[in-house]
A and B are shown apart, each in its own frame.
Chain A
Amino acid sequence: MKRIYAIEDVCIGCHLCEIHCQVEHSRSRNIIKTFKDEVPPPSRISVEEDGPASFALQCRHCPEPYCAYACIAGAIYQDEQTGEVIQDRDKCIGCWTCVLSCTKGAIRADTRGPRKAAKCDLCPGRETPACVEMCPNDALYVKEEQF
């Protein structure tokens, strides 16, 4: 399976990964329209900063996904083939149990419309996830890992 990793020493804390994650998950998928005409979706990756230290973190697609075990709606599951931890957005009712359960703090509340949790989906349909592709400093990379 694909897993995204950050190189802390290379991250310059520019937050562009967050911007491009928002664009990728917006209605228009256009950077101008996302921030000008839409209510932008929450970023599913977050750049964490503490003085000079910074790195980006998103869903780790844990082999033991506590968020999926905790989900009261059966809306989060592990893909049997790829091991990816997938959210069925239609089933999600925005109870935030996964937000509380993710010990990485990698699931966000999306309150634009009906309440939904938002987590990294590895950008289905894209060869390389948007955050990785758009990082100007190559601080993010994709690693193929055995599931």
Chain B
Amino acid sequence: MATKKFKYLIIGNSAGGIGCVEGIRRVDQKGSIAVVSDEKYHTYSRPLITHLIEGDTDRRGMDFRPRNFYKGHGVEPYLGYRAQDLDTDRRLVRLNSSNGGGGHTIRFEKLLVATGGKPFIPPMEGLDLDGVTPMINLDQSLGVKKKLSRVRNAVVLGAGLIGTKTTQALSHQVESVTMVELADRILSPVTDAVSSSMAADAFRRSGVEVLLGNTVTEVRGDGKGRVREVLLKDGKILPCELFVVAIGVRPRTEILEGTPIALANMKVGGGIDVDINMETNIEGIYGCGDCAHAHDFVTGGMRLLPLWPNAYIGGRIAGMNMAGSSHQHRWATNMNSVDFFGFPMVSAGFMLKPEKKGFEEITRKENDCYSKVILKDDVIQGFIMAGDIDRAGIYLGLMRDKVMTTSFKKELLTDDFAVVHLPLEVKEKIKQPIMEIE
């Protein structure tokens, strides 16, 4: 079979892959680009899969870019193809049709691996039953949507970002939803105890049952291949026609097996070991998004940050660098924004004050609003705003720029804290548009 040649090959058609296309085209308007995905769909906004179930968007509304995107950017899309047999020496990869059709061999000069994550599913009895699903892609979302009419009770295992968003979506569609979480609070990576309990209250007020310190140990069927109930660790049985497993995601790195591309230690979750330019140890091969590490501008270290903005910007920076520019990805940290039943909450950086010298926290709680800032030697290291999130981005900017807050620390959590309270130099900088990506 003939080998096709592309200057740029991108494996992944989500935030990282699209960011990469846009980054390449910022620098190189001509070089040929191929985008490969084992999903057959036009690029879609993956975080909206739960919103599709909830009903706040539709298939068309989920398009991450207009339908003429590939054509307009000179991209040859290979959608519905799985990339395999990566040969980093000869710069070849094999694409096999996901539905068993034919394949292609692609030769590339530069490669981005943006394969995303795969759900972590703990081993247990009954996972193969109909009505049991993870929730990380459009097929799974469409699958659940199709089954909704015969679901009365749903159980969601895991109260992280995917679990909570799935729970909220289902609560609008089925009679009862129970969210089961092993930790002692929901959303533990993106909250502290106070904000987590406020979010849990928003769920409970809306009729969702939240079970903490518990987990599902077995899934039982109805004898006809469909899920009927789940058994909890404490012996309780929850009847359900839908069971969503949303414990977490792991980097999807199978394509790198047998290649010399370095992966990070499993102790830090694995993932492609890229540098701050998003390049791997093999020149011309890059990684970004949920499958790769990224520089955390708060901790200063490299880590997994499986978040949409990190994937997009990482891809964009990889793309510009693949096309010959020199940029660093200094825009990533643990940052999240959610809204549960009208209760908004944003957070970034450290959620809990590290028990180390120099750290302090300031909090404010009033009625339904809670805010907290964590500082080290007067530089912001993390913050949470719940209930009222106006101007939250200012804290993010101050944290990213490591601005000393000494002269305005008193004002930080006041109602009208804004750019005007900042020292002249900082203020004038913030009033200007952001011109450079770094």
Contacts and interface: CB of A to CB of B under 8 A. Distances in A.
B219 interface: no
Interface stretch (B125-133, B286-294, B335-343, B356-364): B335-343
B389 interface: yes
Given A57-B419, A95-B337, A90 B392 contact: no
Interface string B392-411: 11101100100000000000
Contacts of A65: 434
Nearest to B347: A100
Interface residues of A, number: 43
Contacts of A50: 420-421
A94 to B, nearest CB: 6
B234 interface: no
Contacts of A66: 309, 331, 434
B312 A96 contact: no
Contacts of B57: 73, 91, 93
A51 to B, nearest CB: 9
A109 B416 contact: no
B337 A96 contact: yes
The winner among B393, B419, B430, B435 for most chain A CB atoms within 10 A is B393
Given A66-B331, A104-B393, A108-B390, A97 B432 contact: no
B308 A97 contact: yes
A70 B308 CA distance: 7
B433 A3 contact: yes
B393 to A, nearest CB: 4
Contacts of A91: 57, 61
B346 A111 contact: no
Nearest to A77: B65
Interface residues of B, number: 50
Instruction: Provide the main secondary structure of the chain A interface.
Output: loop
B80 interface: no
B99 to A, nearest CB: 27
A65 B22 CA distance: 13
B110 interface: no
Contacts of B65: 74
Nearest to B313: A69
B177 interface: no
B311 to A, nearest CB: 10
A90 B394 contact: no
B392 to A, nearest CB: 5
B348 interface: yes
Contact of A49 (B309, B342, B420): B420
B355 interface: no
A135 interface: no
B397 A103 contact: yes
Contacts of A109: 344, 389-390
A62 interface: yes
A69 B309 contact: yes
Contacts of A3: 433
Interface stretch (B43-51, B100-108, B249-257): B43-51
Given A99-B389, A101-B393, A109-B390, A60 B432 contact: yes
B64 interface: yes
Contacts of B338: 95-96
Interface string B109-153: 000000000000000000000000000000000000000000000
A63 interface: yes
A107 B433 CA distance: 14
A105 B45 contact: no
A74 B45 contact: yes
Contact of B431 (A54, A72, A104, A114): A104
B337 A100 contact: yes
B56 interface: yes
B437 interface: yes
Give 4 closest A-B pairs by Cβ, nearest first. Answer: A103-B397, A105-B391, A70-B309, A48-B420
Given A3-B433, A94-B339, A104-B431, 14 more contacts: A63-B434, A63-B435, A64-B435, A64-B436, A66-B331, A69-B309, A69-B313, A74-B45, A91-B57, A99-B346, A100-B346, A101-B335, A109-B344, A114-B56
7 contacts: A3-B433, A72-B45, A99-B346, A99-B389, A101-B393, A105-B391, A105-B418
Interface of A: 3, 6, 46, 48-50, 53-55, 57, 60-66, 69-70, 72-74, 90-91, 93-97, 99-109, 111, 114-115
